[in-house]
Structure 1
Amino acid sequence: MSPYVAPVISSETLPEAADVVIIGGGIIGASAAWHLARRGISVALCEKGVIGGEQSSRNWGYCRQQGRDPAELPLIRESMRQWETMATDLGEDVGYRCTGVHYLAADAAGMKRFEDFMPHARTHGLDTRLLSKTEAAEALPGAARVWAGGMVTPSDGRAEPALAAPAIARAAQRAGAAVLTNCAVRGLERAAGRISGVVTERGTIATQTVLLAGGAWSSLFCRSLGIDLPQLTVRSSVMRTRGGPDVTHGGAWTPKFALRRRLDGGCTIAHGGLSSADITADSFRYFLDFLPILKDEWRSTRLAIGRRFLESLKQKRTWALDAPTVFEDQRVLDPRPVAATLEAAWRDLVAVLPDFANVEIAERWAGYIDTTPDAVPVISPVASLPGFFIATGFSGHGFGIGPGAGRLAGEVVIGAEPCVDPAPFALSRLRGARG
């Protein structure tokens, strides 16, 4: 089922024109709209469903620097700067709390991965430090097991996914952006080899500049334009409790379970190392692109074939822009959570923290994570289509990095001085990219 997400009242009027049209109202698209609108750029943000309705409200809620790919570290540093002042900047609380996030290692191999991250932490000035066995035990008081050690970055934190993207979108509206919900974009109009307009279900917006921040939908939309974007989706299952023992003020990750304290007093809980990948036609289309990461992650990914595979075989590559499309047929991706994965996480959580045994599970849900072959996002222009830009493929890292990614995407779109070097996020770096 879909978890709660704070409502955003749609702008009433479809603008006739905009300097920039953003497709997708997750935290990346909302942040880009906010940063652009504050610069005086006229922006139209088009979301086929509700703001933050997909993975932006379905993630764990970590705002973390530690454990990231080194390419992302400058961008998460910018994001953390924004998270720290967001309540003041937006005028409303999005649940951000600077609490640290503890990573705990089950064995020496786990500690080795934490140790390998430390040179990157030092290079980028993070306050990350390794934890001894004793310190790891103190991170989860009352745990019925001994950890090999751990890692923590005290300046990391947590926020509420249900609140963040909607609050940023509302701030974008107040800054002058048109935020249009239940307004699917069907495609683009072109003139002289360049974008001339965005065709929505409510009409056409004249523009020469488009930012696609479509999450799990990005590859499909790109394909309709003749652009090959190697991207697959991973299904992540999550649950929340009604109340629970106060074992962490922030977040704690272990190989078997992950948890985060919530503003409502409960906990968000997921499996620490297991997700599902639904096999689709794209799984074969991009098999060679994803083969290296699949070799590394096969133990933590369960492959499943079912209805989505059959649906993908029927999916058209192009479609008419004067009739409803798949984007209107499926307003919000709302996959079923994988019961076995959540049951395994709960068993391990209760085995380690017995005080959870009688805590009520209030809700379960799942979401589709947009992933790239190297698990690093794409924030990039598309060479074959002047005026078209992409911000997608955040590979499960998008919530925490969202504010900085939105700012960078906006700067790339308008050719402003970027807050960080965008080169590591170029579309051209991906082996199978074409367009």
Structure 2
Amino acid sequence: MTAADVIVIGGGIMGASAAFFLRRRGKSVILLERGLVGQQASGVNFGNVRRQGRHLHQLPLANRSRAIWRSLPELIGEDCEFVAAGHLRVSYTREQADRMEAYARDARDYGLDLEMLSSNALRERFPYLGREIVAGCYDPTGGHANPRLTAPAIGRAARRAGADVREEAEVIGIGKVGEDFVVEVAGQGDLRAPAVLITAGAWAGKLSALFGEPVPLAVHGPQMTVTEPLPYRIEPTIGVSTPHLRETVYFRQVKRGNIICGGHARGPASIETNRATVLPEVIVGQMEQLRRAMPGFAKVNIIRSWSGIESYLPDDAPIMGPSATTPGLFYAFGFCGAGFQIGPGVGETMAELVATGETGTPITPYAISRFRT
């Protein structure tokens, strides 16, 4: 029976990062991914590397992750197309602008300095924005990266660092025997470790339920599109801040010229069939909202649409931390469609927690015990 210090179940950006940072702490690690590393939510999302717009209590985690993003190419030895070109949120109403301004004031206490821009200042700096926009909130340290590259690159770095990274390794059984966990992998037999970290995204609820910790995890599919290439002009990531989901749109331009866009609504997804659906009516609405924010996109052509399987919790906050029922068991899942930027920070935080029993990054709001009935 193969043994390690830690078994990580789930090879998205959280699990790959945790395996990488556990190795840097000298722990032996087995990373199990039922498909390919980065194939699920970590690889199909928008690629936003943003701090603003998050719950304030999540900013310490986002700050920790931002420090990793700054040095990621040197840290893992690969380029994930991270561009620190800024992140801009815009609003159509004065009321929403006031909310953004209040958030900017509060975020300063967490080390995030945001710049509020009036409509005139926006027109001067970003003349391509639509005339309905009345204000903006700008973070010069934000940006974007390629999600299809990032988690696989971190997984390769973990393997180079000595982690046993196993793809096409489906967990079919897990239990605790004495002081150790025994994890059964289809076609590979049993693995043993005193600590297990579950980072299995939408599939993690099935595993936590085995330890008496069911959670109200819902799954949805993001609606994503990419356009034909256009002349490269838009550096920051841009998103509309609105209380109305149908008005929500966010977009970024890659150096090749294509516009990547998401928002407007989510679609159905299933962990039983491993499928998520693109809804044509949502894509049409998304393009309408994109043209509203960027009138210059009135005649741009879509070349591809896609979706994926993301997990959501009722309070719009993830589950992170130790199990409330089983010593040696840890969780990091349910990031509610906003896990990409914090992924490396989640991995480093969980590696610290698993290795030392504590972490300097506050994660108390994310305890799984909040869902006890």
TM-score interval w.r.t. the shorter chain?
A: over 0.9
Work out the CA distance in 2 between the residues paired with 1:417 and 1:191: 24
Instruction: Compute the displacement of 1:425 (Å).
Output: 2.1
CA gap of 1:177–1:121, structure 2 versus 1, over 3 A, is same
Q: Distance in 1 between matches of 2:177 and 2:209?
A: 19
What is the deviation of 1:89? 1.1
Query: Is 1:433 equivalent to 2:369 in the alignment?
Result: no
2:259 alignment partner in structure 1:
267
Determine the structure 2 residue equivalent to 1:157. Answer: 143
What letter corresponds to residue 270 of structure 1 in structure 2?
A: G
Q: Partner of 2:210 in structure 1?
A: 224
Q: 1:210 to 1:67 in 2, by over 3 A?
A: same
SS at match of 2:283: helix
Q: Which moved more, 1:359-368 or 1:386-395?
A: 359-368
Give the drift of 1:416: 4.9
Conserved? CA contact 1:245–1:356, under 8 Å: no
SS of residue matched to 1:424? helix
Question: Within 2, Cα distance between the matches of 1:274 and 1:367?
Answer: 13
State the shift of 1:352 in Å.
4.4
**Distance of aligned partners of 1:394 and 1:138 in 2 relative to their CA distance in 1, 3 Å threshold:** farther
Report the equivalent of 2:94.
Answer: 108
Question: How much does 1:373 deviate?
Answer: 2.1
Indicate conservation of the 8 Å contact 1:101/1:251, yes or no: yes
Percent pairwise identity? 32
Give the conservation status (yes or no) of the 8 Å contact 1:244–1:356.
Answer: no
Matched, 1:411 2:352: yes
CA 152–60 in structure 1, closer or farther in 2 if over 3 Å, else same? same
How many angstroms does 1:230 deviate by? 2.6
Q: CA deviation at 1:141?
A: 2.7
* TM-score relative to the length of structure 1: 0.80
Q: Find the counterpart in structure 2 of residue 323 from structure 1.
A: none
Q: 1:374 aligns with which of 315, 323, 339?
A: 315
State how far apart, in whole Å, the 1-side matches of 2:293 and 2:340 are: 28
> Partner residue of 2:243?
none
Offset, 1:351 = 4.5
Deviation of 1:146 after TM superposition, in Å, equals 3.3
Letter in 1 for 2:361: V
Instruction: State the Cα distance separating 1:49 from its structure 2 match.
Output: 0.5
Structure 1 residues 8-30: Cα deviation after superposition (integer angstroms, max 9, x where no partner): xxxxxxx8111100010100001
Instruction: Tell me which amino acid in the other structure corresponds to 1:72.
Output: Q
1:284-323 correspondence to structure 2 within 5 Å: none
Query: Match of 1:197?
Result: 182
Residues 147/357 of structure 1: CA separation in 2 closer, same or farther (3 Å cut): closer
8 Å contact from structure 2 (residues 171, 184) kept in 1: yes
Does the CA-based 8 Å contact 1:61-1:260 persist in structure 2? no
Q: Structure 2 vs 1, CA of residues 86 and 220 (structure 1 numbering), >3 Å: closer, same or farther?
A: same
Map Cα deviations across residues 107-126 of structure 1 (whole Å, 9 max, x no partner). Answer: 01221220221232110121
Q: Output one character per residue of 1:397-416: Cα deviation in whole Å (capped at 9) or x when no partner.
A: 10000010111111122225
Partners of 1:247 and 1:138 in 2: how far apart?
Answer: 14
- Is 2:82 the counterpart of 1:87? no
Please give the alpha-carbon distance, in whole angstroms, between the structure 1 residues aligned to 2:358 and 2:324.
Answer: 20
1:16-95 to structure 2, matched below 5 A, reads 16-95=2-81
The structure-2 alpha-carbon separation of the partners of 1:104 and 1:221, relative to structure 1 and needing over 3 Å to count, comes to same
What residue in structure 1 maps to residue 224 of structure 2? Answer: 238
Contact 2:232 2:256 in 1 (8 A): no
**1:60 to partner: Cα distance:** 1.1
- The alpha-carbon deviation at position 387 of structure 1 amounts to 1.4
* Gap runs ≥5 in structure 2: 241-246
Instruction: Give the 3 Å change call, closer, same or farther, for CA 49–264 of structure 1 in structure 2.
Output: farther
TM-score of the pair, normalised by structure 2: 0.92
Does residue 395 in structure 1 map to residue 336 in structure 2? yes
- The aligned counterpart of 2:244 is none
* Distance (whole Å) between structure 2 residues aligned to residue 351 and residue 423 of structure 1: 40
The residue type paired with residue 364 of structure 2 is: A
* Structure 1 runs not aligned, ≥5 long: 1-14, 279-307, 313-325
Contact 1:95/1:263 (8 A) holds in 2? no
- 1:305 aligns with none
